[in-house]
A and B are shown apart, each in its own frame.
Chain A
Amino acid sequence: MSSLPTGLKGRAELGVALLLGAAGVLVFLDASRLSVPYSQSDPVGPKTVPFIVAGLLVVCAILLAVNVMRGGKGEAEGGEDIELGHPADWKTVLPLAGAFVLNILLIDWAGWVISGTVLFWGSVLALGSRHYIRDGLLSVALSLLTFYGFYLGLGIALPAGLLEGIL
């Protein structure tokens, strides 16, 4: 569980500071357009807490930027299945995210059984399994099982979509 190779990584964390700063500014701008009706029952008003949160975020952003510039860096998280020796494997993550997005696009139109199959199959393949047929069958089975399980067991009707009437 050693630290990742330095170099590129040291500066990438500035993106986190940027994100924090942007979030802080966003919270501030959003809160400043709120109107504050004067009222005896709510002296704090809707703006105070957002302003505090925005301040916290901006201060953290600045301190983090300073910290990173001075060479500080956050420790990447370890775990059972995690090997930090090599850089992030985007060839796995991006297809995985792709399968997820596909599911979002399909779920209302094509229904859970189809979109869930796409999600599981896509994820398994992205994660490196090469049993195409077996994985496909497994995906269909899992989607059908959860569809009926939720409908019959929990009374939650997941969308049937294209397969409406068949299921």
Chain B
Amino acid sequence: MDVWSSLMDGFATALTPMNFLYAVIGVLLGTAVGVLPGLGPAMTVALLLPVTYALEPTSAFIMFAGIYYGGMYGGSTTSILLNTPGESSSVVTAIEGNKMAKAGRAAQALATAAIGSFVAGTIGTALLAVFAPIVVEFAVSLGAPSYFAIMVLALLAVTAVLGSSRLRGFASLGLGLAIGLVGIDSVTGQRRLTFGQPLLADGLDIVVVAVAIFAVGEALWVAAHLRRNPLHVIPVGRPWMGRKDWGRSWKPWLRGTAFGFPFGALPAGGAEIPTFLSYVTEKRLSKHPEEFGKGAIEGVAGPEAANNAAAAGTLTPLLALGLPTNATAAVMLAAFTTYGIQPGPQLFSSQGPLVWALIASLFIGNLLLLLINLPLAPLWAKLLQLPRPYLYAGILFFATLGAYSVNLQAFDLVVLLVLGALGFMMRRFGLPVLPLILGVILGPRIEGQLRKTLQLSAGDPAGLFSEPIAIVVYIIVALILVWPFVLKLIRRNRPQAAGAPSAPAAPSGSSAPSGSSAPAELPGRQEPAARTETTVHAPGSGHEDRTVRSDKKETP
């Protein structure tokens, strides 16, 4: 078993005392920052990137592994103890989790979330270890035309499928691609969009862009709408579960994992859809359906497992294809490139030890999360009470420090402020952040692949379709783009079928926190989510949304 021996080598690297220490630091930092309101895992990685520049790549990535899972886990604590979720992937957890906490079962909710995350994370990481090499084997045979097609798919899918308004998604994507253009054109050496400013010639540092959009934009946005009356944090002791809770949790954990991993691995998967699907499934299968909406443990166990399994799934295309599918993966890709490492099929052969150490430390990070977080839960709950002025001033302070320390140029801080203002505007007008970040990171790569493709075909556009995989991917792209129009057509022919009954559940619950926007909007978090639905917007009609009912599935 090649995978097995490589993985064991990875463990050997990851378990050296120094690297283990970095894993512990990563898990602690990741959870702490993930618990803090307003800070998601993407921002955590972006803020901590400069700090890791002094480390060697292996140690840095071991730390990132801890931060990644820690950040995912931290979000669930927040959503259970404070009824408002930080990441869109925790929206579903908040529904039942907070009800449980209010009913005095916070300890059990946190326990099932923690253990479920561990189970899902471990299975997910194992699947990653098995599947990534397979994907690599397949990917090695792909040429520039296929890569171009796959990257186009990733961009369009994230833009068109996630988020509530496709039009605003594409607007955000356009801005991201424009930002990605800044700098010297790699082929002809000409400067694009630099406006004669020599400091722009090298392009905008991705760390600065990410920190600006995630951290500065968020801090300014929160400052504009700071909650006047602070939220009530539910006090909690050490998490634990009784026999009955275990009995009700283990199946949802496994089913959640089964939903989460494949969705995470898809180009537009993300964690929102599987958490939502898991919730609906658990509700239907539960022996206690009457408890749903009042604090059913299955409703926490399933979605939390789905969330973490999706987090692991996301790493498959990132490592094997160099394709980020969510904001955190995008920032990690940026981190890879700053170390001169190109994720993609060659990564496993050229940087094998590093990749396997990373995967091994994902296993370790998962276990550490469980061991550290069960006893520390009361402490994390205290973090939620940090006075908000300090929290957001701190975010600005460390954002500045992080962006400045990359190049030690005050000019970067100007960029930080300008893009921070852009991030503010995007939050204000509902432009999703994820397409912008992916546009900045993937834009230059897509252009590179496009030019390579046409170089190979000597300028003949038919070269774009010269590989079968590319053709398949273009068909999927076409389907994604055409689908809403088909849906519209179907609706128009059967107006009474979907029009009237969904009217009261207009998309009022805005649930698009940092990172990515939620496709699954749950009608009013306080209400029992009896009618769960996904809203799909067509381009050019952010207002009249058509609503896809998914409760149809509940009545077989």
Contacts and interface: CB of A to CB of B under 8 A. Distances in A.
B541 interface: yes
Contacts of B195: 30
B171 A83 contact: no
Contacts of A107: 404, 410, 413
B389 A129 contact: yes
Given A2-B508, A16-B429, A77-B512, A41 B175 contact: no
B193 interface: yes
Given A81-B226, A84-B225, A124-B393, A23 B174 contact: yes
Interface residues of B, number: 95
A123 B396 contact: yes
A82 B221 contact: yes
A128 interface: yes
A74 B165 contact: yes
Interface in A74-99: 74-84, 86, 88-90, 92-93, 96-97, 99
Contacts, number: 278
Q: Give the most central of A53, A66, A96: most B CB within 10 Å.
A: A53
Nearest to B84: A80
B38 A80 contact: yes
Contacts of A40: 458
Interface stretch (B181-189, B295-303, B338-346, B490-498): B181-189
Contacts of A37: 188
Contact of A43 (B181, B224, B405, B459): B459
A79 B84 contact: yes
A158 B38 CA distance: 27
What band does the interface of chain A fall in when counting residues whose beta carbon is under 8 Å from B? 35 or more
Nearest to B447: A49
B168 to A, nearest CB: 5
Interface in B311-347: none
B396 A100 contact: yes
Interface string B37-81: 110000000000011011000000000000000000000001000
Contacts of B38: 79-81
B429 A74 contact: yes
24 contacts: A1-B511, A20-B174, A27-B178, A27-B181, A43-B451, A44-B455, A46-B187, A53-B174, A73-B543, A74-B165, A74-B428, A76-B430, A79-B513, A80-B231, A81-B38, A82-B222, A83-B225, A83-B228, A96-B219, A96-B223, A100-B216, A107-B413, A129-B390, A142-B397
Interface of A: 1-3, 12-13, 16, 19-20, 23-24, 26-27, 30-31, 34-37, 40-46, 48-50, 53, 56-57, 60-61, 63-64, 66-67, 70-84, 86, 88-90, 92-93, 96-97, 99-101, 103-104, 107-108, 112, 116, 119-120, 123-129, 138, 142, 146, 150, 153-156, 158-159
Q: What are the 10 closest A-B residue pairs judged by CB atoms, nearest first? A: A74-B430, A43-B459, A80-B37, A123-B393, A72-B543, A127-B389, A129-B389, A72-B542, A154-B54, A75-B510
